Structure 1
């Protein structure tokens, strides 16, 4: 199965919510990000360099509704996601949805890297929605997380051949040489982090987050986000 859009008419593909986390640390020559190199046999994002993450599942709904997450954090996250589909049913359900996405991010990071992150370590970063025409569609919520000195992720996911720390500049150099592949949301979210330069500046960033509905022709490029791709809540 390909991650490229198809030209054949097909039934509407459901959009599933997902979470993805840019795990960051400050290095001697700038910040580094923890990435996974996915198996070439995967039926989604095969062979791509990605961040730890995955789709929201029923366990995350239970976590969000159980009171395990600090309501101040989920309320803040809901506010940051105000221009995304988190608000497609209004304010009444936005905080629950924000909690589900946060719970998914925490769970996926633990399952794929062994890290137990504090919810307060995760900060909303971006929202990208897979365009029509793809065999799988995701409404993906990206977070950034800075690790404490005693936190170290490991490679423990069967969906990737390896996981490691990488300098963003080296990832893009390898991309230019054709040595790896990254989908546009991965490239764009990393480029935006690079513009800020340091982990501290990235974590402190409070720029408005608006859903991006990318043009499928740009799905594997680092083209800047065009105004026509910016969505509105519920779009």
Structure 2
């Protein structure tokens, strides 16, 4: 008798966007920050991804300060309860800070902000504790909901991931100072897709689709405006056999079908 599918773990990922200081010929100004994960990762090893990770228990804690739409607003946009919606937002802010040093908070970041980043990574402090100690305010208003993706039922390690969009705050820089990635840099969305098409980087189906979507926009302002109008509904890719190939397809989109060997080494989607 087949076993029951694994319950997806809540997770959050953030499309950090900016306008390139000088876009090369043939490229729009829009850029997005991508990381290539280390081969040792249990999930999406060696994949090129947006910053993000699983919701931690501490992400459900009440925060001392919160600016912008409250959890009930996010719950309505994301189609979940307020407790989970608030945890999605907290995880998005925490993971973005841990993985690339961008902190969606105000006012001015303290001089020793990297010490707090190291403590969060080591789980020696929680986001709530950091905000309390520094007097910072979480800026939920800097995030926009973009999509919600659920790993297919046949996959043993599953996630229910909310994709957010955020403009890098003025005066902050995204970096590659994380042990979870071997490299991280800014990409023009069309450029990343071209490298994927040539087999030079590996992307999961949600990353491919998201890059295709944002590549339609010329700059960060256009992406943020588009996010405000999006209806976020869970999307679960389907893994099926197509002749001798196993492909990943999207419900309602017959034109999206990717050979699984192109996106997931070892056949894990």
- Does TM, normalized by the shorter one, top 0.5? yes
Contact map agreement 2:14 2:165 (CA 8 A) in 1: yes
How many equivalent pairs are there? 208
Structure 2 vs 1, CA of residues 71 and 166 (structure 1 numbering), >3 Å: closer, same or farther?
closer
- 1:43 and 1:157 map into 2 onto residues whose CA distance is 16
1:14 to 7, 27, 31: 7
> Which residue pairs with 1:207 in the alignment?
230
| Displacement after TM superposition at 1:71 (Å) | 6.8
* 1:68 has 2:65 as partner: yes
The question of whether the paired residues in 2 share the 8 Å contact of 1:73 and 1:120 is answered with: no
Against the structure 1 CA distance between its residues 223 and 133, is the aligned structure 2 distance closer, same or farther, given a 3 Å change threshold?
closer
For the 8 Å contact 1:188–1:224, the answer to whether it is kept is no
C-alpha separation between the residues in 1 aligned to 2:35 and 2:253?
Answer: 30
Aligned match of 2:18 in 19, 25, 49?
Answer: 25
Aligned mates of 1:111, 1:134 — CA distance in 2: 27
Structure with higher RCO (Cα < 8 A, 6+ apart): 1
TM-score, normalised to structure 2, is: 0.71
Query: Secondary structure of the equivalent of 2:221?
Result: helix
Map 1:40-119; keep pairs closer than 5 Å.
40-62=39-61, 65-70=62-67, 72-82=69-79, 86=80, 94-117=81-104, 118-119=139-140
| 1:216 counterpart = 2:216 | no
Tell me the TM-score normalised to structure 1 length: 0.81
Query: What is the match of residue 148 of structure 1?
Result: 169
Gaps of 5+ in 1: 1-7, 87-93, 229-235
Q: Which has the larger radius of gyration?
A: 2
